[in-house]
Structure 1
Amino acid sequence: MGSSEQRRVAEPVSGYGAAFDRLFVRGRDAVLAGNHYRDSPPVDGGRWGLSVVLPPGPACAARLAAVTAEALAVAGPDHWPTGAPEAAHFTVRALEAHRSGVRAGDPLVRRASSALLRAAAACRPVRLVLRGLTLTPSGVMACGYPVDPAADEFAARLGDELGADAWFEADFTRDIWYATLVHFTGPLRDPVGLVDWVAARRDLHLGEVVVGAAELLRFRFNGRQPVRVSLARAPFGTGTGTGTGTG
């Protein structure tokens, strides 16, 4: 992602709302038709590859986990609770397809760690207002609204610093910020009930999260769901932000 590429910057009450509305319609239709996407444990060459993410702070993680538990009670207990504290995250950029056994000494990890440190040092902490849930063809999301350009500035700077290692998403722009709370893995216990449950929470206020550091991570399947395995952590520079990542 070059510096000339821009994401949409949204105020807390506008901007991304239309994109989340479109996702809800697609998710509702897929869930009611029974043709929603069903995730499966990561395999080499598939999803859940090396990524840079914004991890939620403890308070935010607790709020997301509570809503995730409620969602699973409607969707069914066999789906992945990816809003649990050990899994929740806001993806900034995926760097490759899933590759098992990635370790800190891996050449890509070393290069990406350096790029992450440079990018984060040049950017301020990220602030997201979490307001509302949406349904997608593959799960349930918590919707994030940047309160200033910091999140998008970091995403663009990271792409620049990665250089050739940004190839994996070179033709793909992530234009919304979100945390997926539930990934569907099979039939839904109550499809109509799930649609209604999410619809009633389209404006649920989950507070503001201030993220003080970004992470490079891989995903490990723990028998229940993919969880985060941190490979590098990079604090944001001071900029104009004042957050500590505890939201």
Structure 2
Amino acid sequence: MSDFAEFRAKGRATLLAGRATYDVPMVEGALRWGAAAVLRPEGAVVDRMTELAATVDAPGHWVHGGRTLHVTLRSLEPYRTRVPEDDPLRRGYGAALAEAVDGLPPARVRLAGVHPHQGGVLVGAHPEDDTLDTVRKRFAHALESRGIRDLEHGRVRDLWYVSLVHFAAPLTNARELVAWCDAHADADFGTAELRTAEIVQFVLTGGRIHVVPWERAAF
């Protein structure tokens, strides 16, 4: 997990220094939690991450599990409350994603390591092949060829991950949370085979984030 060593050290220092940030419930036009392209793991690795997340002491924050757990491929747009099925952007995202995954095998990623960061807690996703990077590049090209601009503006993701917790209020137990992350720093949840990429919307219901699929593209 050497690729996460610097990230982890910075995250620990940030939380212990009292510089945590937090998300707020979605509102129209917000730059966070808009539609995104994601890949959701399935099976035993998801169960193991869900079980661990349920043990974190994070009252008032968004703790994720089950089908909410995902690897983000690309953030696409500001938050929109209602997006019809025939929305031109929604359809464009779906077509670009289908083009990006066409002919590629499923992506294999090892999910290991629990890391604190400024806005929450995540699990490192360590690719075991080139599929994720290839899809990232092909999806960016497919969006550009359709004249679609996203929120990443050319950003290259150099770390892949699955979020377990997003802070949703000022963090009041930073030391305890960091200690929990330290205790699980070497956790290995296993290898996931990501067989489907999706365009999704995020919805906050009853203090929990839910993932609503719009479009799917199978590897």
- What is the TM-score with the length of structure 1 in the denominator? 0.82
Amino acid at match of 2:35: L
Contact 1:103 1:231 in 2 (8 A): no
* 1:241 alignment partner in structure 2: none
Tell me how far apart the structure 2 counterparts of residues 181 and 146 of structure 1 sit (CA, whole Å).
18
Q: Which runs of 5+ in 1 are unaligned?
A: 1-12, 237-247
Amino acid at match of 1:59: A
Amino acid at match of 1:129: R
1:79 to 34, 58, 61: 61
Tell me how far apart the structure 2 counterparts of residues 128 and 166 of structure 1 sit (CA, whole Å).
28
1:8-27 pair list within 5 angstroms: 17-18=2-3, 20-27=4-11
Provide the secondary structure at the position in 2 that maps to 1:77. Answer: coil
How big is each residue's C-alpha offset from its partner over 1:70-117, in whole Å with a ceiling of 9 and x where there is no partner?
A: 22x3xx2211012x1142110000111111112322110111111111
Give the drift of 1:118. 1.5
Give the drift of 1:207. 0.3
Give the drift of 1:172. 1.4
Structure 1 segments of 4 or more deviating over 4 A?
none
Tell me how far apart the structure 2 counterparts of residues 140 and 96 of structure 1 sit (CA, whole Å).
23
* 2:216 alignment partner in structure 1: 233
Question: Structure 1 vs Structure 2: percent identity of aligned residues?
Answer: 33
Structure with the largest fraction of strand:
2
1:201 to 179, 184, 187: 184
2:49 to 64, 79, 82: 64
Q: How big is the alpha-carbon RMSD for the aligned residues of Structure 1 and Structure 2?
A: 1.6
Tell me how far apart the structure 1 counterparts of residues 87 and 5 of structure 2 sit (CA, whole Å).
40
Matched, 1:168 2:151: yes
Contact 2:104 2:131 in 1 (8 A): yes
Tell me how far apart the structure 2 counterparts of residues 102 and 87 of structure 1 sit (CA, whole Å).
20
Give the drift of 1:232. 0.9
Give the drift of 1:189. 4.9
Judging changes above 3 Å, is the alpha-carbon distance between structure 1 residues 190 and 167 closer, same or farther for their aligned structure 2 residues?
closer
* 2:91 alignment partner in structure 1: 110
Tell me how far apart the structure 2 counterparts of residues 112 and 167 of structure 1 sit (CA, whole Å).
10
Tell me how far apart the structure 1 counterparts of residues 143 and 79 of structure 2 sit (CA, whole Å).
18
* 2:112 alignment partner in structure 1: 131
Provide the secondary structure at the position in 2 that maps to 1:169. Answer: coil
Matched, 1:44 2:25: no
Tell me how far apart the structure 1 counterparts of residues 98 and 75 of structure 2 sit (CA, whole Å).
16
Tell me how far apart the structure 2 counterparts of residues 172 and 158 of structure 1 sit (CA, whole Å).
13
| Paired positions, count | 216
* 1:8 alignment partner in structure 2: none
- What is the TM-score with the length of structure 2 in the denominator? 0.92
